[in-house]
Chain A
Amino acid sequence: MEQSFLFLVLTLDATLRVSTPLIFCAMAGLFSERSGIIDISLEGKMLAAAFAAASVAAVTGSAWLALIAGVAVAVGLALLHGFACITHKGNHVVSGVAINILASGLTIVLGIAWFQRGGQTPSLPPTARFMPVEFPLAQAVDGVPVLGTIYRELLSGHNLLVYVAFLIVPLTWWVVYRTRFGLRLRAVGENPTAVDTAGLSVSWLRFRAVMLCGLLTGLAGTYLSIAQNASFVRDMTAGQGYIALAAMIFGKWRPFPAFGACLIFGLLDAVAIRLQGVHVAGIGEVPVEFIQALPYILTVILLAGFIGKAVAPKAIGMPYLKER
C-alpha cells in the first residue's frame, strides 16, 4: 500500500515535469490558431529556443539571460511565420514545415560550429539553470502521512518554470475569454471581415497572437534545455511540439480542456517510461511503443469525430484579403 502510493505520487510528479513543455506549447498554439494562424511549427520554435537558451547559459552562466535569449529566438521565428502567413499570405502549413526543418538543421549546424560537441551544448552548472524550488517546511511535514508525501514529492521541488506553466493556463483563459484583446482575438479567427469592419487591424491582431505564441514556445524550449535538463541535445524536443499540437486540438482549442489533454499525454509518457520492460500479470510485457503512440492515435480518433467533435476556428489557415 505504502509502496504503491509512493509509486503513484512519483509518477504524478514525473507527469508534471513532462507536461510542462506541452502546456506552454499548447497554450502557444491556442493563441496562434484562435487568431486564424495555423501553427505546426511549435516544435521548431521550441527546439530553437532550447538551443538558444542552452548556448547563452553556457556562455554567460546566467539562467535569466538564457531565458531572454530563448524567448527572443522563438519570437523571432514566430515573426517569420507571421511575415510569411500574414504579410505575404503564404501557406501556413508550408511556412510551419519550413520553420521546423530550419530549426532542426540550424541547431545542429550552429551547435557543432560553436561548441564542437557533436551538436550538444556544454553541461551547465546549477547556477546557470532553473533549479528545483523547495517549498517551506517540505522536510518538516515529511512525517505527516499521505499529505506530507504529496506536499514534499508532488507539489514542492519543481523548478520555477513548472509553476509558471501551471499559472499560464488560467491566465490564458482569462486573456482569451475575459479581456477585450481576447474577444478580438477570437473574432479575428472566426470572422476577420467583421473585425476589419469594426475598424481594427486584422494583421496587427494576428501578429500579436503570433508573438504570444513565440513567447510561450520560448518558455517551453528554455525549460527543456536549462531547467529539465542541463544542456541542449540535438533534436531534444523529440516530437513534443506535435504532441502539444495534438493536445490543443484534443482540448478543442480551449485552454482548460487542452491543459487536461497535456496532463493526460504527459501521464502516458511518464507511465511509458516507468513501464519499460515491466511485466504486467495477464498482459505480459507492455508494448511501450503503443503507449507512446497513444496521444497521436487518440487525436486521430477525436478528429475523426468519434469522441465529440473538434471544430477549428472558422477562418483558420485563410489569408485575409482586404477588399478594395
Chain B
Amino acid sequence: MSQASTTLPRWIDIGLIPLINVLMALLVSGAIILMIGENPIEAVQIMLVGALGYEEGIGYTLYYTTNFIFTGLAVAVAFHAGLFNIGGEGQAYIGGLGAGLFLLMADSSLPSILLLPLGLITAGLFGAAWAAIPAYLQAYRGSHIVITTIMFNFIASALMVFLMVNVLIKPGQMSPESRVFLDPAHLPFAHEVFAWMGIKISRSPLNVSLIWAVLCCFGLWLFIWRTRWGYAIRSVGFNEKAAVYAGITPAKTVMLAMFVSGALAGFVGVNEVMGVHHRLLLNFTAGYGFTGIAVSLMGRNHPLGIVLASLLFGVLYQGGAELAFEVPTITRELVVVIQGLVILFSGALAYMSTPWVEWLYGRFSKRQAESRQEAA
C-alpha cells in the first residue's frame, strides 16, 4: 500500500513525514477556528484541559480511545491485506447487536464469569460475520469491497432500526431501546475496579474494555508480524501475484483478514453495549468506525502508532466536547472536521511533502559531507 521513499532514512519516513502531515491537518483546523472568529491557541488550551486536566476528563478520553483502538486496528489489518474496510461502522453496530442479543437472552441464567467472555466473543463473531459477507463477495465473486462495505453499513443501520423499533424495544416505552441488562452482564467501570482496590476516582464511562483493547493491540502485532497468517496477509497486500507463487491463496487470506477486521470492529459493541449503556439502543457507534480510518492512516497501520493516534483522537473527542461547552460558537463537529483533514493529509496526500523533505534532507546531508571534508 505504501510507496516508501528510498532516499530518506527510516526516522524521517515513519517519524517526521507523518508528523508533518498531522501538523498540516491541525494548522488547517486552526485556520478554520480563526475563520469562525475564535482563538485557536485558546481552543487548544481548553481542549487539553478538558481532556487531560482532571480525572473525569481523562476517563472520558480513555473511553473514546478504547473505541478508536478497536476500529483503528480493524482498518489496519484490512489495509495490510490491501483491502479498504469502510464497513467498520456497520460491523461495530452488528457486533454490539450480537453482544446485546446474547446478554438479553442469557443474563438471568448465567454468572458474570461466563456472561462477559461469551458476550465479548459474540460481539466479535457478529462483527466478523458482517465483514465476512463483503469479504466473500470480494474473494470469490469479484465485487469491490469498498462498495459492498459501504452498502453493508446502510443495511446494518436499517436492520438495527427495524429490530429496535419492532422487536427489541422494551414494551411500554417510546424510545427504541431494549431493557437494561441485569447486573451480572455489566462490564465493570474503571471507577468500580479502583474502588475494589480502595482507590476512589471520579465516575466516567471508562471500563475494563480498555484492557481488552490494549491486549488486542499486542495480539494483532503478534498476528501480523509473527505468524504465518500475518505473513500471508502482508504478502497478499504487498503483491498478490508473488503471494500466489509463495503458495498463498489470496481468497482465503482476504477472508481471514476481513474476519479479524470485523471482529475487532465488533468489539466497539463490547465497550459501548456491555461497558457503558448496558442495553441495546440506536446509533451507539456514533461514527467511531469512520474515525478508525483516520486513526489507522495516522498510525501507519502499526498497533503502536494506532494507540498513539487513538489517544490523540480520544483527546480531540473529549476536548472537543469541552470546547463546545465552553465556546458557544464552536460545536463538537469541529472534531469531525479535524478527522476529515487528518484523513486527507495523512492518507490521500500522505506523500505530498516527501519531495520537499527529500530536497531539504539532500541539501542538509550534502552540506554535512562538505563540512566533514573541510575538517579533514
Which listed residue, A80, A101, A246, A305, touches B151 by the CB 8 Å rule? A246
**A-facing residues in B131-156 (Cβ within 8 Å):** 137, 141-144, 146-148, 150-152, 154-155
Judging by beta carbons under 8 Å apart, are A303 and B147 in contact? Answer: yes
Determine if B204 is an interface residue (Cβ-Cβ < 8 Å). no
Which listed residue, B37, B147, B340, touches A245 by the CB 8 Å rule? B147
* Stretch touching chain B among A86-94, A183-191, A257-265: A86-94
Determine if A84 is an interface residue (Cβ-Cβ < 8 Å). yes
Contact of A299 with B144 at beta-carbon distance under 8 Å, contacts A98-B340, A105-B339, A113-B36 already known? no
Judging by beta carbons under 8 Å apart, are B337 and A293 in contact? Answer: no
Q: How far is the CB of A90 from chain B (nearest CB, A)?
A: 4
Judging by beta carbons under 8 Å apart, are A93 and B333 in contact? Answer: no
Judging by beta carbons under 8 Å apart, are B148 and A300 in contact? Answer: yes
Q: How far is the CB of A100 from chain B (nearest CB, A)?
A: 8
Q: How far is the CB of A104 from chain B (nearest CB, A)?
A: 6
- Bound: A84/B32 CA distance, A: 20
Residue with the highest number of chain A CB atoms closer than 10 Å, among B161, B165, B349: B349
* Stretch touching chain B among A136-144, A170-178, A198-206, A284-292: A284-292
Q: How far is the CB of B4 from chain A (nearest CB, A)?
A: 14
Contact pattern, B 310-339, Cβ under 8 Å of A = 1, otherwise 0: 000000000000000000011101111111
- Bound: A202/B360 CA distance, A: 30
Judging by beta carbons under 8 Å apart, are A113 and B330 in contact? Answer: yes
**B-facing residues in A290-308 (Cβ within 8 Å):** 290, 292-293, 296-297, 299-300, 303-305
Q: How far is the CB of A135 from chain B (nearest CB, A)?
A: 37
With CB as the reference atom, state the residue of chain A lying closest to B3.
A89
Judging by beta carbons under 8 Å apart, are B161 and A249 in contact? Answer: no
Judging by beta carbons under 8 Å apart, are A296 and B339 in contact? Answer: no
With CB as the reference atom, state the residue of chain B lying closest to A287.
B162
Determine if A97 is an interface residue (Cβ-Cβ < 8 Å). yes
- Bound: A249/B334 CA distance, A: 33
Contact pattern, A 249-270, Cβ under 8 Å of B = 1, otherwise 0: 1000000000000000000000
Report the interface size for chain B: residues with CB under 8 A from the other chain: 49
Which listed residue, B150, B155, B165, B337, touches A40 by the CB 8 Å rule? B150
Judging by beta carbons under 8 Å apart, are B148 and A102 in contact? Answer: no
Contact of A305 with B143 at beta-carbon distance under 8 Å, contacts A109-B32, A109-B36, A109-B333 already known? yes
Contact pattern, A 214-244, Cβ under 8 Å of B = 1, otherwise 0: 0000000000000000000000000100100
Determine if A131 is an interface residue (Cβ-Cβ < 8 Å). no
Determine if A247 is an interface residue (Cβ-Cβ < 8 Å). no
**A-facing residues in B334-367 (Cβ within 8 Å):** 334-341, 343-344, 347-352
Residue with the highest number of chain B CB atoms closer than 10 Å, among A94, A246, A293, A305: A94
- Bound: A174/B286 CA distance, A: 43
Determine if A99 is an interface residue (Cβ-Cβ < 8 Å). yes
Determine if A106 is an interface residue (Cβ-Cβ < 8 Å). yes
Determine if B295 is an interface residue (Cβ-Cβ < 8 Å). no
Between A and B, 28 residue pairs with Cβ closer than 8 Å are A80-B344, A84-B349, A85-B348, A88-B352, A94-B348, A97-B343, A98-B344, A99-B344, A101-B290, A101-B340, A102-B340, A109-B331, A109-B337, A110-B36, A112-B329, A114-B36, A119-B333, A287-B166, A290-B162, A293-B158, A293-B159, A297-B151, A299-B147, A300-B151, A300-B152, A304-B141, A305-B141, A305-B143
For the complex with contacts A91-B84, A101-B294, A289-B161, 18 further pairs of A-B residues with Cβ separation under 8 Å are A40-B86, A84-B349, A88-B349, A90-B351, A93-B86, A94-B297, A97-B86, A97-B290, A102-B340, A105-B334, A109-B36, A113-B330, A119-B331, A245-B147, A297-B151, A300-B143, A303-B141, A304-B137
